[in-house]
Structure 1
Amino acid sequence: MDIGFLKTSIVGFVQTHQAYAPFVLGLMTFAESLAFVSLLLPTMTIMIAVGFVIAAADIPFWQVWAGAACGAFLGNWVSFAIGQRYKKAVYETWPLSRNPKLIMRGEDFFQRFGPWAVFLGRFFGPIRAVIALIAGIFLMPVVLFQAANVASASVWAFIILAPGAGLAQYWLW
């Protein structure tokens, strides 16, 4: 199987099922933003590659961006709610129980940057997995959390999808 055939097959599949693209990206970014799941799934690399595929399949960028941003927003919201509800007891839950240094780094990051930690944390791989959870544990005001959550999800989704979508017309396709 050559790379040209593989590329044509993937783009053809995505074009045929493009109505599902925003939903699929939303699920991927939801998982990437959910406290426990994001430690297990390395979806960042996949998301960057998806930018190329959506451009090649002629799917409107704003649709997939909206799906990705919504998924990221909801994943952080659920993580925040879990932190509010279960407090530090979640630290004893796998896979967090196997990453005490990550928890310490997340708490230090949150203490250092306060509300900005939610916005900034989305852009730093390991911290992204715990920062919304920690914000909930430390009882960050919901309105402040959601403002940072919406803003960071929107910017983050754009940053991970736009390079592939923008470069696809010049590269490989």
Structure 2
Amino acid sequence: MSLNEITHTIMQFIEHHQAWALPIIFLLAFGESLAIISLLVPATAIILAAGALVGTGVISFIPVLIAASLGAIIGDFLSYWLGKHYHQQVISSWPLNKYPKMIFRAEQFFQRYGTFGVFIGRFFGPLRAVVPLIAGAMHMPTTKFNLANIASAPIWAFVLLAPGAFGVPWLETLFG
């Protein structure tokens, strides 16, 4: 099944079963934020598409924003916790041991930018879920990590949802 088909199927399900929208968005953002799972979950495309459902009035913006933010915060914190408590074992395990360059880049990124690296790392594709793992492995203080994590998650969710949420109504107004 292609990414397009997966996205379409999930969007149809949400459209017909709106009560499931928030748990699905939460779980997608959570999975997208987990170090290993994020490599397997096509959450970014689906959350972008969910923005279009917001734009058409199928689901509401604020609850979806909150669900995506909470999923991202909890997923990143779990990655951080795993890194802090199982640092070397996690990094040397499959599938992360298949991507040593990604781990190395995340370490460099974190060393260069510190707490700000956790904040900005959320917006860099494959590094997104690895940065919290590395932050934990490098024993970044939990308070500093949480500040960056909690501050960046709603912005990340907004950036993904906004094009569909605000673009669809604008296009409908423009092209009637």
The reply to whether TM is greater than 0.5 is: yes
Q: Which amino acid aligns with 2:46?
A: I
Is there any run of 5+ residues in structure 1 with no aligned partner, and where?
Answer: 1-8
Check the 8 A contact 1:11/1:57 in 2, yes or no: no
1:41 maps to 2:38: no
Matched, 1:155 2:159: no
* Unaligned segments of structure 2, at least 5 residues: 1-8
- Residue 145 of structure 2 corresponds to 145
Residues 118, 145 of structure 1: 8 Å contact kept = yes
Q: 1:46 and 1:120 mapped to 2: Cα distance? A: 21
User: Could you tell which deviates more after superposition, 37-46 or 141-150?
Assistant: 37-46
The CA deviation at 1:14 is 3.1
Distance 1:34 1:12, change over 3 A: closer
Aligned 8 A contact 1:69 1:157 in 2:
yes
Q: How does 1:1-173 map to 2 (within 5 A)?
A: 13-171=13-171
SS for the counterpart of 1:139 is coil
Contact 1:55 1:168 in 2 (8 A): yes
Contact 2:49-2:164 within 8 A present in 1 as well: yes
More divergent stretch after superposition (19-28 vs 55-64): 55-64
Counterpart CA distance in 2 for 1:51 and 1:89 is 37
Cα contact 1:32–1:41 (8 A) shared by 2? yes
Q: Is the 8 A contact 1:77 1:132 kept in 2?
A: yes
Give % identity: 45
Alpha-carbon distance in 1 for matches of 2:43, 2:17? 20
State the alpha-carbon separation in 1 of the partners of residues 134 and 14 from structure 2.
Answer: 37
Change (3 A) 1:34 1:11: closer
- 1:13 CA drift (Å): 4.8
Say if 2:87 and 2:137, in contact at 8 Å, map to a contact too: yes
Please report the TM-score for the alignment, with normalisation by the length of structure 2: 0.87
- The aligned length equals 165
Q: Deviation per CA, 1:110-153, whole angstroms, max 9, x where unpaired? A: 00001111100000001102000000001111111111000111
CA–CA separation in structure 2 for the residues paired with 1:91 and 1:11: 34
The Cα shift of 1:171 comes to: 3.7
Tell me how far 1:15 sits from its aligned partner.
4.3
Contact 1:122 1:152 in 2 (8 A): yes
Closer, same or farther in 2 for the Cα pair 1:11/1:155, shift >3 Å? Answer: closer
